[in-house]
């Protein structure tokens, strides 16, 4: 008994070990510590570290961040966005507006937050909430697991060389080393999408304030984007579906050509200057066929392929998988493996599967130029369609909410945004 008690007080012992300190891992940790769990996160990186991303936060992501007690003012280059421009393959532009936080006090429905800043701020928030986080500590292998605990080896030369936990959460990306160690890897998997991003400064065109999505005819069902940041900067890039017109190897040359297209160049302004180097990354979006758990391990975020299969958006999805994993573990005071895994699987199926299938079907529609033009024409046909389409587009409600009665509520597409009580920021 003495040895057991002393071991539980050791730095390398915890109730739940989380591999990966991105949004998914932090969301799981915050959910767990709120229920009194001792949580340890390890990450191979040192923060702040960049993550190749479009940096966009949907309404769903913002509501989850608010629920987790996050303060957006801790992100220096955070920008609320309410002006949206969609460009049809025909060249027709549709102007959409989300409810404006500054004027109507309705809360935030979309925001841009550079991942190097957002992820670091989330790590600091987790630490302040009681989560232990060890950086520069990479997962190596699952050494052992039984009906009571799981033992993990890392490359740390310190007290965390071997970590013992009651449960493990893998938030370690689409090529999850944890999944590989458990023999549950998805061989030869490269993701459904591939995206390409670069930051740009000296933006003097409308892209300095307005969020642009360009449905280029040759990119469908992919698209190009420009997301505004403070001080005349923007995150600009494009994404393609694997197996579409362009290969991943052609993306670099395509990027140069895209920037010369008149409507994109005009949106950025003649003085726009590319910053640093471009980056590219794969996006996993097959949660309905991914393995959700293995033994005493739950997979979340990119490790469970949770990104939206229509848009490639993944921050809100990552946060939600983290919350659901945390809730599943706290449901069992004895850390019953089967109860936790079954509950997590049910939660994931309820919150993701219908939306994934809806997004997959809509993605098929967007492969067709004529159908894409029709959808966007319908979206901009009236004040009602413009108002509700943009809220649906930014996941004010789940993609397939209309088809899942269990998620219906009286304020459908009429709820306030996130962070309503916080001071409104300037959006220019």
Domain ranges of the chain: 2-59+116-189+286-363
Q: Tokens 């023999």 belong to which residue?
A: 183
The pLDDT assigned to 180 comes to 95
> For residue 1, is pLDDT > 60?
no
Which CATH superfamily, name and number, covers 2-59+116-189+286-363?
FAD/NAD(P)-binding domain (3.50.50.60)
Provide the 8-state DSSP code for 152.
E
Distance in angstroms (rounded) separating the CA atoms of residues 32 and 27? 9
Q: Are 171 and 18 in contact (CB under 8 A)?
A: yes
Give the predicted TM-score (pTM) of the model. Answer: 0.94
Distance in angstroms (rounded) separating the CA atoms of residues 319 and 336? 24
Q: Could you tell me the two tokens for 194?
A: 């591939």
Instruction: Name every residue whose Cβ is closer than 8 Å to that of residue 410 and which is 6 or more positions away in sequence.
Output: none
The pLDDT assigned to 420 comes to 86
Distance in angstroms (rounded) separating the CA atoms of residues 258 and 264? 7
- 142-193 confidence digits (pLDDT tens): 999 998 999 999 999 888 999 999 999 999 999 999 999 999 887 778 899 9
Mean pLDDT of 127-153: 96
Computed on alpha carbons and rounded to an integer, the radius of gyration of the chain in Å comes to 22
Mean pLDDT of the chain: 93
Mean pLDDT of 314-336: 96
- 185-243 confidence digits (pLDDT tens): 877 788 999 999 999 999 999 999 999 999 999 999 999 999 999 999 999 999 999 88
Confidence of residue 50 (pLDDT cuts 50, 70, 90): very high
Distance in angstroms (rounded) separating the CA atoms of residues 9 and 3? 10
- 347-397 confidence digits (pLDDT tens): 999 999 999 999 999 999 999 999 999 999 999 999 999 999 999 999 999
Confidence of residue 9 (pLDDT cuts 50, 70, 90): low
Helix 337-348 with 315-330: angle, nearest 10 deg: 150
The pLDDT assigned to 104 comes to 53
- pLDDT above 70 covers a percentage of the chain that reads 95
What separation in angstroms does the CA of 2 have from each of 14, 81, 165? 17, 56, 18
For the ranges 3-17, 160-174, 298-312, the lowest mean pLDDT is seen at 3-17
> For residue 423, is pLDDT > 70?
no
Nearest to residue 316, comparing CAs of 99, 66, 97? 66
Residue scoring higher pLDDT (106 or 353): 353
> For residue 328, is pLDDT > 70?
yes
* Distance in Å from the first CA to the final CA of the chain: 62
The pLDDT assigned to 264 comes to 98
For the ranges 159-173, 320-334, 392-406, the lowest mean pLDDT is seen at 392-406
Distance in angstroms (rounded) separating the CA atoms of residues 158 and 24? 26
Q: Are 199 and 207 in contact (CB under 8 A)?
A: no
Cα 328–Cα 191–Cα 365 angle in degrees, nearest 5: 95
C-alpha atoms less than 13 angstroms from C-alpha of 244 in its C-beta half-sphere: 25
> For residue 21, is pLDDT > 70?
yes
Q: Which contiguous run of DSSP H or E holds residue 229?
A: strand 223-229
């Amino acid at each position: 008994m003495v040895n057991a008690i002393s071991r539980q007080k050791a730095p390398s012992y915890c109730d739940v070990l989380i591999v990966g300190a991105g949004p998914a891992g932090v969301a799981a940790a915050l959910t767990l510590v709120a229920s009194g769990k001792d949580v340890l996160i390890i990450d191979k990186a040192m923060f702040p570290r960049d993550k190749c991303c479009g940096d966009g936060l949907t309404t769903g992501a913002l509501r989850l961040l608010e629920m987790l007690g996050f303060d957006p003012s801790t992100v220096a280059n955070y920008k609320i966005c309410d002006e949206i421009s969609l460009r049809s393959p025909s060249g027709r532009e549709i102007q959409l507006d989300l409810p404006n936080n500054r004027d109507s006090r309705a809360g935030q429905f979309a925001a841009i937050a550079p991942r190097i800043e957002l992820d670091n701020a989330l790590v600091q928030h987790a630490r302040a909430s009681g989560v232990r986080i060890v950086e520069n500590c990479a997962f190596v292998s699952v050494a052992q697991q039984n009906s009571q605990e799981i033992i993990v080896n890392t490359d740390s030369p310190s007290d965390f060389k071997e970590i013992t936990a009651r449960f493990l959460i893998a938030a370690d990306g689409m090529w999850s080393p944890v999944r590989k160690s458990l023999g549950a890897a998805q061989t030869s998997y490269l993701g459904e999408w591939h995206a390409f991003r670069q930051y740009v400064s000296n933006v003097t065109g409308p892209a300095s304030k307005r969020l642009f999505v360009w449905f280029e005819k040759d990119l469908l069902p992919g698209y190009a984007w420009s997301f505004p940041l403070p001080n005349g900067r923007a995150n600009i890039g494009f994404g393609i579906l694997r197996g579409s017109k362009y290969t991943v190897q052609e993306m670099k040359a395509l990027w140069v050509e895209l920037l010369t297209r008149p409507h994109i160049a005009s949106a950025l302004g003649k003085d726009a200057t590319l910053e640093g180097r471009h980056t590219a990354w794969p996006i996993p979006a097959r949660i309905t066929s991914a393995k959700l758990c293995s033994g005493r391990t739950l997979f979340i975020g990119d490790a469970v392929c949770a990104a939206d299969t229509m848009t490639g958006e993944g921050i809100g999805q990552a946060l939600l998988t983290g919350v659901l994993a945390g809730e599943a573990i706290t449901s069992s005071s004895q850390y019953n493996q089967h109860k936790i895994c079954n509950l997590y699987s049910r939660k994931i199926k309820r919150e993701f599967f219908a939306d994934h299938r809806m997004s997959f079907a809509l993605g098929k529609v967007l492969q067709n130029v004529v159908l894409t033009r029709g959808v966007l024409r319908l979206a901009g046909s009236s004040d009602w369609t413009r108002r509700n389409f943009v809220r649906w587009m930014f996941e004010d409600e789940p993609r397939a909410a209309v088809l899942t009665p269990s998620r219906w509520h009286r304020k459908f597409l009429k709820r306030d945004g996130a962070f309503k009580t916080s001071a409104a920021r300037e959006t220019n």
